[in-house]
């Protein structure tokens, strides 16, 4: 584990821990406020993210930004990362060896950010962080506390592109997060 961002970012620069490195354009490390109270964790980069080297900049990211505006979240105030840092081919789900290869990077990001709340975006984030027994349809919108961090599982923004009815739940879940943070203001 690294105790500073510079060493952590240096450690991932030439990562070849799994086969995903062979097709990447950029490592998509994470972005945002490194002291955020609120962190979002997604699955992995898509084509736009791989090209730009930043998470959630494609269609799903634009939709997430609109949801942020709706509930009053400033993207610059949160930290956004992913389970895997390189794009799986064809946007397939990351495989277990790939997620395992990246988990220490993500754990280190969480340790350095020290968020009060982590929003888990979709099934892959939920199951890799909290366990395979969790199902997104049963868990979304419900607080789960683990090791002093409050987790809010919700739909991945890409799911909202496929099923617009999920947008309502996504907004509700983000409002629960804002309410929690507003009620637990740190002095």
Please, which pLDDT band fits residue 184 given cuts at 50, 70 and 90?
Answer: confident
Q: What is the pLDDT of residue 1?
A: 86
Residue 145 · residue 151 · CB < 8 Å: yes
Do strands 38-42 and 79-82 pair parallel, antiparallel, or not at all (unpaired)? parallel
Q: At residue 43, does pLDDT exceed 70? A: yes
Six-digit token string for 78: 């949160």
Six-digit token string for 155: 């739909």
Specify the pTM: 0.96
DSSP letter (8 states) at residue 53 = T
Please, which pLDDT band fits residue 146 given cuts at 50, 70 and 90?
Answer: very high
Q: Scan for tokens 């994470």, then name that residue.
A: 30
Q: What is the pLDDT of residues 157-179, one digit of tens each?
A: 999 999 999 999 999 999 999 99
Cα 130–Cα 181–Cα 31 angle in degrees, nearest 5? 65
Q: What is the pLDDT of residue 74?
A: 97
The rounded mean pLDDT for the chain is: 96
Instruction: Render the burial of 158-172: b for 16+ CB within 10 Å, e for the rest.
Output: bbbeeeeebbebbbe
Q: What is the pLDDT of residue 42?
A: 98
- Averaged pLDDT for residues 138-157: 96
Please, which pLDDT band fits residue 186 given cuts at 50, 70 and 90?
Answer: low
Percentage of the chain modeled with pLDDT above 70: 99
Where do the domains of the chain lie, and which CATH numbers do they carry?
A: 5-183 (3.40.470.10)
Other CB atoms within a 10 A radius of the CB of residue 84 amount to: 27
Q: What is the pLDDT of residues 71-130, one digit of tens each?
A: 999 999 999 999 999 999 998 999 999 999 999 999 999 999 999 999 999 999 999 999
């Amino acid at each position: 584990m690294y105790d500073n961002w510079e060493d952590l970012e240096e450690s991932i620069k030439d990562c070849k821990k799994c086969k995903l490195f062979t097709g990447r354009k950029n490592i998509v490390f994470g972005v945002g406020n490194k002291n955020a109270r609120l962190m979002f964790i997604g699955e992995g980069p898509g084509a736009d993210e791989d090209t730009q080297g930043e998470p959630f900049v494609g269609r799903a990211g634009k939709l997430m930004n609109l949801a942020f505006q709706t509930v009053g979240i400033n993207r610059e105030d949160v930290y956004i990362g992913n389970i895997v840092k390189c794009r799986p081919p064809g946007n397939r789900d990351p495989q277990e060896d790939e997620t395992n290869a990246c988990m220490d990077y993500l754990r280190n990001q969480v340790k350095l950010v020290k968020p009060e709340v982590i929003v888990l975006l979709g099934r892959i984030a939920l199951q890799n962080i909290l366990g395979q027994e969790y199902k997104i349809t049963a868990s979304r919108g419900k607080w789960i506390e683990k090791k002093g961090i409050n987790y809010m599982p919700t739909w991945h923004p890409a799911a909202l592109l496929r099923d617009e009815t999920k947008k309502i739940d996504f907004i509700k879940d983000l409002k629960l997060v804002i309410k929690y943070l507003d009620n637990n203001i740190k002095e």
